[in-house]
Structure formats: C-alpha cells, structure tokens
Amino acid sequence: MRQATVIAPSLLSANFAQLGADVAGVVEAGADWVHLDVMDHHYVPNLTFGPMVCEAIRPFAGRALIDVHLMVEPVDALVMPFAKAGAGLISFHPEASLHVDRTLQLIRDQDCQTGLVFNPATPLHWLDHLLDKIDCVMLMSVNPGFGGQSFIPSTLPKLRLVRDRLDAYARGTGRRIRLEVDGGVKPDNIASIARAGADTFVAGSAVFGSRDWRATIATLRHAAECS
Ligand code: DX5
Ligand code: ZN
C-alpha cells in the first residue's frame, strides 16, 4: 500500500550563498520535493530560514513541492506566512503547539498539506485522534537542529509501527497518509528504511554533499524502490 517514492533534499546542506541556483539545480536533478528546515533558536539550538526565504526560492522550485519543516515554538503564527510564501506542506512538532488539532486545521485552511513530526523520543500517541487531519507523518531519525548527523537505528521499529497503523487507516478509510523519514538518510541505509515502511525520504548532506546530485537522487530512489 506504499505511495510513490518521494526524495526531498534538505536545503540545510545547500550553499546559502546561491540558494536559488541550488534549488533549481536539485529539482532539475530529480528531487520531488524541496525540504526547508525552519529553525528558531528556541525549539532547536539552530537558526535558519524564515518565510521571506521560502518566497524567494519558490520560483526556482518549479514543479517541486516545498516541504516546510517547522522546528519552532510556538507554531501557529508562522503557518499563514509560510503558506503565503508558497509552502505545499507544512509540518510541525506536536509538543511545540498548545492545540495540535487547531494547528492542523489552520494549515488545512491555508490549502496546504499537513505534517506531524515525531522526534526520536516522542511517543506515537499523538496520532490517536488526529489521523483524519494529517497528510504526512514524519519520523525524525536524528534529534532536530543540525544536518549531517547519524541515523538513529531505533527509528526502524518505530517506522514499522506507524506503517502498520497507516495501512490499517488506509484500509478503513481509503485515504493514504505519507510516511516521511528525516535525518541521516544515505544511499547505504535507505533500503532498510524503505523496508520498514517509509515512502518519503529527506536527504540533506547525502545529496548536497555529493558531487553528482542527479546520480545520488537516482541511487536513493532506486535503492528505496527495490528494497
Ligand atoms: C534536522 C533536519 C533535517 C536535516 C537532514 O533537524 O530536520 O532535515 O537537515 O540532514 P541530513 O540528511 O544531513 O541528516
Ligand atoms: Zn527536516
């Protein structure tokens, strides 16, 4: 019941001095989505992009969806600015929002897809009453804040749990929810991540740190789909 594979390079590992060119280049090289890591130096210790940067890169992304990953607290005030700036999907961490259902609805009201993000230590019970409002469940396979960290292996059994849950939900409702994984995804581990149930893969340093983005994206996709 898996959906088409999505490869979403994270701009955190792009060259910020030529962000527009890197966005256009990575989409041309086969990226399905462009992953934008928004960090506020509060929810996470790092500081990155605001809505103005999202708006500036939007024209360079062409057909690719901009996958905005909010690592901010509080969340709600940034939803509308990012939606206006061209986000296609907005995901956030449930513990960073006081009213998670309301935040999901707020994102939907802006005609964006919704994503709920789970840190390695965040329990899955946040899904209990919210699946109808979620388009993408994202499991962090590193602690959020930085690119280039190592994949945390306990993500694999957690992915299997979510996969089972999303498959049961799809059987009951006919609606399929994406399962995204973020952090430490590389050509040599993506097959096991896909086998555990992920269909959407963020890869920052693996893509932008490689010499041939097109070859790396193709390798990632092939390994995920042949898993
Ligand atoms: C971490 C970010 C990730 C990160 C992924 O907080 O959410 O998207 O940039 O980078 P890599 O693929 O290098 O682990
Ligand atoms: Zn991310």
The tens digit of pLDDT for each residue in 40-70 reads: 999 999 999 999 999 999 999 999 999 999 9
From the list 22, 37, 135, 199, the catalytic residue is 37
Rounded Cα distance, 66 and 82, in Å: 10
CA 65–ligand 1 middle distance (angstroms) = 17
Ligand 1 pocket, Cβ-based, cut-off 6 angstroms: 10, 12-13, 35, 37, 69, 142, 144-145, 147-149, 182-185, 202-206
Q: What is the pTM of this model?
A: 0.98
Residue 109 burial by Cβ neighbours in a 10 Å radius (0-12, 13-18, 19+): exposed
| Domain spanning 6-225, CATH architecture | Alpha-Beta Barrel (3.20)
Best probe residue, ligand 1, of 6, 10, 66 (max atoms within 8 Å of C-beta): 10
Q: Which residue bears the tokens 């749990």?
A: 161
Share of the chain above pLDDT 70, in %: 99
Per-residue pLDDT, 188: 98
pLDDT at 227 > cutoff 90 = no
Phi-psi region of 182 (alpha: psi -120 to 50; beta: other; left: phi over 0): beta
Q: Rounded mean pLDDT of 105-118? A: 98
From the CA of 149, the nearest ligand is: 1
Rounded Cα distance, 227 and 192, in Å: 7
